[in-house]
Amino acid sequence: MNFSLESLYKWYRDVIRNPKYRWWVIGGSLLYLISPLDISPDIFPIIGWIDDGVIAGLLVAELSQVLLTRLKGKKETAPVDPVDAEVAANATAAEGSFVDVNAVAMK
């Protein structure tokens, strides 16, 4: 198994995009901030506060996404891939000039 920071970040982004797991992230970040156990203890002045700051930023970002979704009145759904959304918008704008092609790579 090949572990890298990039693969961890990709997994995290996929989890965050799924609204089902959003509440788990919010709950986990709240639990981490309340818990006396830290990755780096707060005894060390700046280094100890960095992990708490990152988790607090994550918590604020997730809560703001939930609130914005609720305020807009939309049901929480997984976001659409921006490329697919652009293609669909262009297809709607072109009204019939869109051709759907299933491309196959040639060797």
Looking at this protein, which amino acid is placed at residue 35? Answer: S
pTM metric for this prediction: 0.53
Q: What is the pLDDT of residues 41-74, one digit of tens each?
A: 777 788 888 888 888 998 898 888 888 888 888 6
Non-local (6+) Cβ contacts of 53 within 8 A are: none
The answer to whether 47 touches 40, Cβ cutoff 8 Å, is yes
Predicted pLDDT at 89: 58
Rounded to 10 degrees, what is the CA torsion of 79, 83, 88, 91? 170
The answer to whether 66 touches 20, Cβ cutoff 8 Å, is no
Please report, for the chain, the start and end positions of each structural domain, with discontinuous segments joined by +: 5-93
